[in-house]
Amino acid sequence: MKGLGGDQQTDQALCFQSDGPGVPSLGLRESDPGLCDFDESVPVLLQRIYAGRGIRSQDQLKLSLDELPAPGQLRGLDQALALLVEAFEAGQKILIVGDFDADGATSTALSLLALKAMGHKTVEFLVPDRFRYGYGLTPEIVELAAQREPDLLITVDNGISSHAGVEAARALGIKVLITDHHLPAAELPSAEAIVNPHQPDCAFPSKNLAGVGVIFYVLSALRGRLRERGWFASKNIHEPNMAQWLDLVALGTVADVVTLDQSNRILVNQGLARIRSGRTRPGIQALLELANREPVQLVAADLGFALGPRLNAAGRLDDMSLGIHCLLTDDPLEARSLAGRLDELNRDRRVIEADMKREAMALINDLRLDEESMPWGLCLLDEQWHQGVVGLLASRIKDRFHRPVIAFAGAGQIGGGGHQGEGAELKGSARSIPGLHIRDVLDTVAAHNPGMITRFGGHAMAAGLSLPKDNFAAFAVAFDNVVRQVLSPEELQATLLVDGQLEKAELNLAMAEQLRQGGPWGQGFPEPLFYGEFKIIERRVVGEMHLKLMLSPPQNPEHLLDAIAFGVVEDYDVDQLPELLPLAYRLDVNEFRNRRSVQLRVERILLPTLAAAPV
């Protein structure tokens, strides 16, 4: 393996070892640009970074819409188009059943906007109240949907595990089209049509589409089918350009943290290009203003860390219909008002999440769980935790201890100290680490313990489940046992993959700009991460939780660099940090008062946790 700065730097990075709890060892991404087909238009540093992410040909960097795989390879597409064409030509009522996260919200908004633009007049949406109905097309949701008398239900970002819901719809004479990207069980629901790249015998090459990507493909194919049938000409309708909604596709794709393979990078890149040029939905524009993000400088990370959480906050704490209406409205004033409400919910979510993390850490401390005694698969329960935030909590604890975590709350818990319902059921949200497919683990637990889990579903890295409260203790043991069968002790030791070290001449704004524009970066195609040791010149706490630093390379003390480390104050006594600080960082661009400068965005301080006080 070769580091980006040469063999000597590679040796330094590879020799770094963990010397305390919570400190990852460093590994280098495989990088041999000599085996790759790049020309001189790609900077040498980016060549090496791309090579470390499996890019072997410059063709893999092409991000035009022409490079997308054709929709015809999606299994079930012909049946889906037949249902949709019938609904158009017969004037049938369509009801979109969405999910309560950002992927579901963007999928729902895209569906309504596109179907109406194609000339369908009777289309509405329904998003389940997660606290009353849970996830997916349940029989209860079908009963609620039936009150609107739809002819066709279209699920977006859900439905692949909704066997009972589909049966309930069929019993009422309502047809169902499932569009989803979650992993199916061995048996598929008996819907009239299913489009999901993960279903068996689906030849579609890009399996990593988010829910919004799947419905974008279906709607794009529908436009082509309607064109073939002369629909637009006969109705005197201007055929819509599907690219106008790529801002929604980009937002949903990044926010759902799906792998950015070439197809998803194309969708995200094209969506970002539209936002940067000012061609975006008023709701997205309003969210960008609240997040203090300049559209012309937008990158994928801004969608994930600034817009996604604000949109998700509606589904976590309140009603995702709020977020969908924000994306749907054409009125900038209404968009700002709705975005403001989303921003308030997100601030509330942060407070709730911080409190829950403190409570979880106190629970772990009370149980006297250390690195040796802690379960390999960790289950945490507090019935008072907010059901909408347990997924974020599981992610935080997973990051802290590098092991799969499931956080449970009472099924009726909605925050504010009150319950709805009897509280006999628990809702859990799971997050995993590399090497462990969390949905498969839940499948194994369920297969060996019939009746233990009420329902479950999800991805390799994230899943959700419900189980009776009385089963929690037995489930925690069963989950830990299966995790121990899958993982090795070495996989519980975090390894931070870096792209080597940067030379002094590379620590500049021009290089930061090159890296920033070299993406889009995201899950499975990570933003470049570098390792280095820096001398602390100045330090101060900002925003109560963040550490602002002025650093310099030891070999070049006059070269001063701004740096920011987010959320580290709870883990470190910043006054006790050593003068020479080992860091994993990203080379970023800081924008302040219309001035752009290079900044190190610290991802990890490579030292044992040095908390100022017990958690």
For residues 562 and 507, what is the distance between their CA atoms, to the nearest angstrom? Answer: 11
Nearest to 386 by CA among 354, 431, 363: 354
pLDDT at 585: 97
For residues 339 and 410, what is the distance between their CA atoms, to the nearest angstrom? Answer: 29
Token pair for residue 341? 């409400």
Domains of the chain: 7-52+499-605 (2.40.50.140), 73-340 (3.90.1640.30), 367-495 (3.10.310.30)
pLDDT at 5: 31
pLDDT at 301: 94
pLDDT at 34: 72
Between strands 455-458 and 462-468, the pairing is antiparallel
pLDDT at 16: 41
Phi, psi of 531 (to 5 degrees): -120, 145
Q: Identify the helix (H) or strand (E) that includes residue 519.
A: none
In this structure, the number of other CB atoms found within 10 A of the CB of residue 166 comes to 25
Per the CB < 8 A criterion, the answer to whether 530 and 500 are in contact is yes
For residues 411 and 415, what is the distance between their CA atoms, to the nearest angstrom? Answer: 11
Mean pLDDT by 10 residues, the chain (615 residues): 30 40 74 78 91 91 95 97 98 95 96 98 88 80 96 96 95 98 92 97 96 98 98 96 98 95 97 97 97 93 95 91 97 98 96 94 83 89 94 94 95 48 80 94 96 89 93 97 95 91 92 94 95 94 91 90 90 88 94 86 84 41
pLDDT at 22: 59
Nearest to 514 by CA among 586, 424, 426: 586
pLDDT at 612: 42
Longest dimension (CA), the chain: 75
pLDDT at 204: 97
For residues 310 and 504, what is the distance between their CA atoms, to the nearest angstrom? Answer: 38
607: Cβ contacts below 8 Å, ≥ 6 apart: 20, 23, 572, 577, 578, 581, 582
Its pTM stands at 0.90
pLDDT at 254: 97
